[in-house]
């Protein structure tokens, strides 16, 4: 997500005051009756400074998307990454500053016009003091928005029209090998909270249907019991997105995790995700010796509903996986309307 560039309070004030001075200098060259000149110069200076600062604040507000209008996945993503409440509060603060500066512009414009030219400079200084104080009050909000901009820069680009399949399984079971076999091009790599390597999204199209396969190394590959609330929220964001889960077992256990533990992870994932699960037993090429399969591997295969036995590295079973993926239906995604943001009335009250 591209957010607008966020200035510091100093930059914002500096720009406003510099442009104010420039406009005032131009006024100085104009033919104006002497007793009015001082007033006009200072009035121009205050009004220009206010407008420049307001324009910048408005540009930031206009170019920042309304969070409620984004798909659930992005709302969740923003919440986990930077916090939706903080985000909205910061925008609220900018809106507040915009309102106050509009008032100061009117108030001081009128005062300067009413009083004598001798008092104009004093009034302009007073106005500048108050403008500075308002802009400095939103320092932490500008700071936060800049932090959000940096953190949301490499947000995953998700196609909400496509059917989404999320891959799960312990590290080294063959998730990325499978992803590259199923999808067309190099997967897109984007940031995702709690994944050291980011999220990988690959696409493929078949019979006019578009599918995206999502791998989240570091998230769907470890016991959920160990996760904190925020990490669980990151899982829930995926749940909002997934139309189906591809759960991959490493039948050879060369990934370092016994099938017993892999099965436990599956049980945990079943508790969190409502989406249907496609079960894959990978690395079958090394799980069998001379065509003989260990009884205990067979036991896990037998415990699983419609398992597919594959070898991602050798491209064995890929066609069957694609056939199963083609049967996945897009799920109706519910959006929760209850947690509408409540504005802090005192903060927004400009009257």
Ligand X SMILES: Nc1nc2c(ncn2[C@@H]2O[C@H](COP(=O)(O)OP(=O)(O)OP(=O)(O)O)[C@@H](O)[C@H]2O)c(=O)[nH]1
Where on the chain is the footprint of ligand X (CB under 6 A)?
A: 171-177, 217, 221, 282-283, 285-286, 311-313
What is d(CA 127, CA 50) in angstroms, rounded to the nearest whole number?
10
How far apart are CB 173 and ligand X at their closest, in Å? Answer: 5
How far apart are CB 217 and ligand X at their closest, in Å? Answer: 4
Q: Which is nearer to ligand X, 2 or 292 (CB)?
A: 292
Q: Which is nearer to ligand X, 93 or 265 (CB)?
A: 265
What is d(CA 62, CA 39) in angstroms, rounded to the nearest whole number?
34
Q: Which is nearer to ligand X, 148 or 234 (CB)?
A: 234
Length of the chain: 351
State how far the alpha carbon of 76 is from the alpha carbons of 67, 136, 235, 340, 344, in Å.
10, 31, 10, 14, 22
**Residue with the shortest CB distance to ligand X:** 174
How far apart are CB 163 and ligand X at their closest, in Å? Answer: 21
How far apart are CB 204 and ligand X at their closest, in Å? Answer: 17
Q: Which is nearer to ligand X, 141 or 253 (CB)?
A: 253
Q: Which is nearer to ligand X, 38 or 317 (CB)?
A: 317
How far apart are CB 174 and ligand X at their closest, in Å? Answer: 3
**Interacting residues of 188 by C-beta distance below 8 A, sequence separation 6+:** 156, 157, 200, 201, 202
What is d(CA 323, CA 326) in angstroms, rounded to the nearest whole number?
5
Q: Which is nearer to ligand X, 224 or 286 (CB)?
A: 286
Q: Return the bridge partners of 200, or none.
A: 189, 215
Q: Is 351 exposed, middle or buried (0-12, 13-18, 19+ CB in 10 A)?
A: exposed
How far apart are CB 17 and ligand X at their closest, in Å? Answer: 53
| Helix orientation angle between 318-326 and 175-182, rounded to the nearest 10 degrees | 70
């Amino acid at each position: 997500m591209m957010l607008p560039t966020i200035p510091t309070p100093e930059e914002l004030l500096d720009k406003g005051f510099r442009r104010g001075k420039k406009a005032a200098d131009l006024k100085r060259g104009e033919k104006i009756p002497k007793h009015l000149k001082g007033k006009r110069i200072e009035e121009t200076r205050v009004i220009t400074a206010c407008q420049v600062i307001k324009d910048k604040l408005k540009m930031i507000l206009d170019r920042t998307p309304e969070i409620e209008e984004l798909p659930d996945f992005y709302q969740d993503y923003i919440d986990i990454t930077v916090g939706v409440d903080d985000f909205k509060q910061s925008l609220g603060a900018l809106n507040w500053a915009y309102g106050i500066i509009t008032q100061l512009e009117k108030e001081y414009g009128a005062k300067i016009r009413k009083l004598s030219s001798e008092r104009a400079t004093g009034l302009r200084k007073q106005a500048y003091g108050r403008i500075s104080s308002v802009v400095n009050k939103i320092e932490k909000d500008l700071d936060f928005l800049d932090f959000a901009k940096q953190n949301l820069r490499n947000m995953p680009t998700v196609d909400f029209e496509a059917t989404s399949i999320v891959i799960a399984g312990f590290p080294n079971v063959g998730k990325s090998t499978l992803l590259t076999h199923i999808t067309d091009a190099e997967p897109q790599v984007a940031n995702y909270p709690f994944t050291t390597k980011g999220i990988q999204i690959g696409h493929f199209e078949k019979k006019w249907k578009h599918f995206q396969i999502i791998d989240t190394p570091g998230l769907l590959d470890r016991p959920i019991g160990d996760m904190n609330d925020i990490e669980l929220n990151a899982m829930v964001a995926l749940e909002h997105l997934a139309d189906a889960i591809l759960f991959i077992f490493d039948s050879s256990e060369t990934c370092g995790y016994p099938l017993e533990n892999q099965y436990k992870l599956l049980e945990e994932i079943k508790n969190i995700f409502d989406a249907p699960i496609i079960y894959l037993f990978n690395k079958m090429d090394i799980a069998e010796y001379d065509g003989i399969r260990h009884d205990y591997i067979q036991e896990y295969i037998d415990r699983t509903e419609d398992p597919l036995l594959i070898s991602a590295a050798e491209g064995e079973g890929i066609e069957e996986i694609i056939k199963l993926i083609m049967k996945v239906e897009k799920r109706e995604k519910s959006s929760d309307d209850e947690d509408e943001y409540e504005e802090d009335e005192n903060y927004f009250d400009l009257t």
